[in-house]
Amino acid sequence: MYHAGVRAVFRSQVVAFAVLIVGAVVAASIVGSIALFPTHSSTPNRGPSDLSLAAISIHYTIPVGTSPDGAAYDSTNFDVYVSNEKSNNVTVVSSVTHTASSITVGKNPADIAFDSTNGNLYVPNTNSSNVSIISNANKVIANPSLSKGAEPAIAFVDPANGNVLVTNASSYPKDNVAWLIGSSTNKATAITLGLGFAESVSYNPSSQDLYVANTVSDTLSAISTSGTVTSIPLTGTPGFPTADPATGDLLVPLVPTSLKANASIEVLSSTNTVVTTIKVPGVSDIESPLSAYDPFNHDVYMVGFSYSKNASVAVIVSSSNAIAASLVLKKGISDLFPFYDPANGDVYLTAGTKNVTVLNLTKVVKTLKVAQPVDFMVYDPTLKDMVGAGDVNLTTKSTLYFISSSNGLKSIAVGKDGIAFLYDPKDTYVWVLNLGSADLQLVG
């Protein structure tokens, strides 16, 4: 069962974690594929490391509130936070004592984001049209109001200055309004984006701009550190933009005009100028909201879909802005997500199927069979494993999979409808948020 709201939240936080904690071990582990790992000077070690598949157990199971919807980690006080949509609160779990407490916020908190520049957390309250700001001392210090009738959905921290972009889930007060909350002022300022903007936000460290795709006006909104919004016209409807760490460019997939047309990728420089358009023959649409970057070959991995072949396609873009490879994958599957493994240099494609496809450089090297489709993955640097939970439904227990650097597979049962979302460097284990059983589990 696919939970669109929850998954959208985690998509945004994956990107946010990557750009906030880049360079640290925790960045690689929390973010999985999108963190900017150090460049390899040689091929990653693919040696037999199945020692990582020794005893794995659930160390703690901690109840959270009703209908958990988002999660964040405070790297300064080592607490884990979960926003609970139906109990109107945030659960706080200490990585030191493993005890839980709660903080009352607004109505229907949909997300939660941590700002490392000021130590605060930001919780958009969808049905009270405001954002609760929680300090490092776990107290609500401000509740900046947004426009009347607004339905804030996702908070994204700007890594360049700590300001927070809050996107709106509804067309009221207008269908192109979002808000910026000042990191030092806690005040919300309305900004104008394009029509049909996506809730998800992208960031390019080279330009230091935030980007929002506008699917109705066929533009990209670039939001600078000063809060200025520049509308960038595109030649088609944008998909999910992704930054290329090797070039500093922004790759913007464009939706083709017909089912028979080929997809393309518009490439923007760090000055937000379109420098080239990459044609992607045989691919109808590049749909995945996530991408992966391989620092060994400097390629970016995306996933598209071919209507003519009725199959997913791995689209690999080189640092010369060319298609390095286009690999036809499983038939009938269109929602695969790529994740990079720094232990062996592999890229894992997950979700939508009972397979995990393993790529190395530009080839498929293995297919791992799993009993439940895996959604997100995180990297555990202690075990040197990739960890992902089977995405099922609210009433069935999930399976948590550990994939070693030699692609060995081990699994254990966790709670209902789990998401493995965080490697905790304090505990050196992985946190799993179980949406169906409304609890957190620490596993490793």
State residue 50's pLDDT score.
Answer: 52
Q: How many CB atoms lie within 10 A of CB 99?
A: 10
State residue 432's pLDDT score.
Answer: 97
Judge whether 100 and 62 are in contact, CB under 8 Å: yes
Digit-coded pLDDT (tens) for 28-66: 223 322 333 333 434 555 444 454 456 799 999 999 999
Q: Which residue has the tokens 């240099």?
A: 345
State residue 146's pLDDT score.
Answer: 96
State residue 303's pLDDT score.
Answer: 93
C-alpha to C-alpha distance for 227 and 441, rounded to whole angstroms: 39
Question: Can you give the residue range of the structural domain that contains 360?
Answer: 4-443
Residues of the chain with pLDDT under 50: 1-9, 11-42, 46-49, 51-52
Which CATH number do you get for residue 76? 2.130.10.10
State residue 54's pLDDT score.
Answer: 61
Q: Which candidate, 52, 248, 291, 9, places its Cα nearest to that of 152?
A: 9
State residue 44's pLDDT score.
Answer: 54
- The single-letter code of the amino acid at 11 is R
Judge whether 263 and 235 are in contact, CB under 8 Å: no
State residue 43's pLDDT score.
Answer: 52
State residue 7's pLDDT score.
Answer: 47
Number of domains in the chain: 1
- The single-letter code of the amino acid at 353 is T
State residue 29's pLDDT score.
Answer: 28
3-state secondary structure the chain: CCCHHHHHHHHHHHHHHHHHCCCCHHHHHHHCCCCCCCCCCCCCCCCCCHHHHCCCCEEEEEECCCCEEEEEEECCCCEEEEEECCCCEEEEEECCCCCEEEEECCCCECCCEEECCCCEEEEEECCCCEEEEECCCCCEEECCECCCCCCEEEEEECCCCCCEEEEECCCCCCCCEEEEECCCCCCEEEEECCCCECCCCEEECCCCEEEEEECCCCEEEEECCCCCEEEEECCCEECCCEECCCCCCEEEEEECCCCCCCEEEEEECCCCCEEEEEEECCCCEECCCCCEEECCCCEEEEEEEECCCCEEEEEEECCCCCEEEEEEEEECCCCCEEEECCCCCEEEEECCCCEEEEEECCEEEEEEECCCCEEEEEEECCCCEEEEEECCCCCCEEEEEEECCCCCEEEEEEEECEEEEEEECCCCEEEEEECCCCEEEEEC
C-alpha to C-alpha distance for 434 and 396, rounded to whole angstroms: 10
